[in-house]
Structure 1
Amino acid sequence: MSVLPLPTGYRLERGLLWPADDRDCAAVVFDTVPDMDHALKHCRKFDLAVQAGGNMGVWALSLAQDFKRVVTFEPDPVNFRALVHNTSTAKNILALPCALGSKGGTWCDLEREAGNAGAHQVKLGDVAPVVTLDDLNLPALDLLYLDIEGFEMMALMGGLSTIVKFKPVIAIEDKGLSERYGYKQNQAEKFLASHGYEVVARPHRDVVMVCGR
């Protein structure tokens, strides 16, 4: 049986298509999948999960085992090609080449960190569209899982109506990168707290919050 060659610039990582020049992202991504359990145990329903950034699809594939449908966002074209390839057989995953932000109808680029495909940060540009969670008019939302390198506050503001409506369990990464965009560390946590959310877990640098109202 012939084996198709890998696309130029990619390798296989634990059976998944992966950017060949990544040195630091893969181990972290695979090792942090169990952290999702801290959020999953608080979900009341498992109809729909939204996850960003999609990276190479490891988190989306894990969520797809529990949720009826998963929507994942990844604005970097190199990562997105791997994401689509890796999730192509999962019929309940929708992958979108966009960034979640506070204002739809705009475009972005990525500030790329050499050797780390998981550390790209959104900046102004014309590579990928920015959409808001509210623009999607989702029929449900049970889990919102954000690992978008400091852009979490913008994604939350752009999805506030959806969050208030469905009160999903929310997990955000918070390691101070939001200061690049003018928001202090912990500001996203305080923003959610002002809308009735409280912290239930802090796995590594993530914060898991549920709405008590």
Structure 2
Amino acid sequence: MEKSLARFFRTLNSKLIGTDNLLVEKILKIPFAFSGFFYRRKRAALSSGSNITLIENFDSNIKLKIDINRTMGCAIYWTGFHEYKELLFLHKYLMPDMVFIDVGANLGEYTLFCCKRLANGRVLSFEPLPSIRKFLLENIELNGFKNAIVYDCGLSDENKRLAIYEVEDTHEGLATIYPGERVIKQKIEVELKRMDDALVNQNRVDFIKIDIEGAELMALRGGLNTIKKFRPIVMLELNQKTYEAAGYTIEDIHIFFKELNYQSYSIERRGKISKCESMPLFGNILFIPNENSIHNTMVS
């Protein structure tokens, strides 16, 4: 019964991505709200053991192997999404020939979503943690996507090897170079590269998503030439706590993009965007070059 109910929610909720009809959207938001209730209830009771499950209707028809005893997997299992507004924006913005860079790809929510839409383009995914990268590679293979390249390294401001720490938490996306005061579960040495070096032969970059638990500024500095050359949209997870653990602040991110003539935007309802009056302490923010004539229909 529970398995069928979760599948029912995912099937209906996936239709929210493609609809432009306001009435249909309002109707679909009813089961979406119920699925959120089930997710929150299950998240509050997550156990420590693994429960690996294969779903076949992520984004309506994508196969995805997840652990429903972890935060991200539980969210996708019950609602069909982990980050709904962000995916809705990407669905409206992406064109088939674009190149998407997924830094901190995790199990592949963004990678797979973008592979499906970039039929003539490419997704370049960076995931240094072996246990998570295994999920990512399996999920790409399950769907037969040929337009994804997975890098077994992380990104920083210099090429080096460094320890990455898995922390005690039900969330599967919190491995970090900067653990701060969090309880460490295990330490793994990984390779880090500069984005400029990793993408040296790339002739196009349209969108960069970065979610790497405090190492965001270092990755940006290592990709400065790439950003200057291609002027992509950059979506960054702001997190004051992880930034402080790494020794910088959200203001440093703001200054980095301001010097490049970028404007910050938040993602609102229906995937629309609006200029940030101030930077939040936590959340995904878009940085868009001021010369980018982003569709008027996407700006609220």
Q: Would you say same fold, with TM above 0.5? A: yes
TM bracket (short chain): 0.7 to 0.9
8 Å Cα contact 1:33/1:62 also seen in 2: no
Query: What are the ranges of 5 or more consecutive residues in structure 2 without an aligned counterpart?
Result: 1-49, 57-63, 180-186, 269-281, 292-300
**C-alpha contact 2:86 2:267 (8 A) present in aligned 1:** no
From 154, 160, 165, the equivalent of 2:229 is 165
Contact 2:160 2:191 in 1 (8 A): yes
- Residue 200 of structure 1 and its aligned partner are, at CA, apart by 2.7
Q: 1:170 to 1:85 in 2, by over 3 A?
A: same
* Contact 2:67/2:74 (8 A) holds in 1: no
Q: Which amino acid aligns with 1:17?
A: K
> 2-side partners of 1:112 and 1:207: how far apart?
25
Partner of 1:196: 261
| Aligned residue number for residue 189 of structure 2 | 127
- Bigger radius of gyration: 2
* Structure of higher RCO (CA pairs closer than 8 Å, 6+ residues apart): 1
Cα deviation 1:32-52 (Å, max 9, x = unaligned):
144134356556884311011
Aligned to 1:206: 284
Distance in 2 separating the partners of 1:48 and 1:56: 19
Q: After TM superposition, which residue ranges in structure 1, 4 or more long, deviate above 6 angstroms?
A: none
Q: Classify 1:164/1:40 alpha carbon distance in 2 versus 1 (closer, same or farther; 3 Å).
A: farther
Using the alignment, how far apart are the partners of 1:17 and 1:42 within structure 2? 26
Q: Distance in 1 between matches of 2:209 and 2:219?
A: 11
Paired residue for 2:159, among 101, 104, 116?
Answer: 104
Alignment of 1:9-158 (within 5 A): 11-15=52-56, 16-19=64-67, 22-28=69-75, 30-38=81-89, 41=92, 46-67=97-118, 68-88=121-141, 89-123=144-178, 127-136=189-198, 137=200, 138-158=202-222
Contact 1:54/1:83, CA 8 A, preserved across alignment = yes
Structure with the bigger percentage of helix: 2
Structure 1 residues 168 and 45, CA, compared in 2 at 3 Å: closer, same or farther? farther
* Conserved 8 A contact 1:143-1:169: yes
CA contact (8 A) 2:72 2:82 kept: no
TM (norm. structure 2) is 0.61
State the identity %: 24
How far apart are the structure 1 equivalents of 2:95 and 2:108?
A: 24
Letter in 2 for 1:128: V
RMSD across aligned C-alpha pairs, in angstroms?
2.6
For residues 31-72 of structure 1, what are the alpha-carbon distances to aligned partners after superposition, in whole Å with 9 as ceiling and x for unaligned?
Answer: 314413435655688431101111101110011123310011
Q: 1:187 to 1:102 in 2, by over 3 A?
A: same
Give the number of aligned pairs.
205
Gaps of 5+ in 1: 1-8
Q: 1:44 and 1:61 mapped to 2: Cα distance? A: 15
Q: TM-score, normalised by structure 1?
A: 0.84
Larger relative strand fraction: 1
Decide whether aligned partners of structure 1 residues 83 and 183 sit closer, same or farther in structure 2, where only a CA change above 3 A counts.
same
Q: Secondary structure at the match of 1:90?
A: coil
CA–CA separation in structure 2 for the residues paired with 1:189 and 1:37? 25
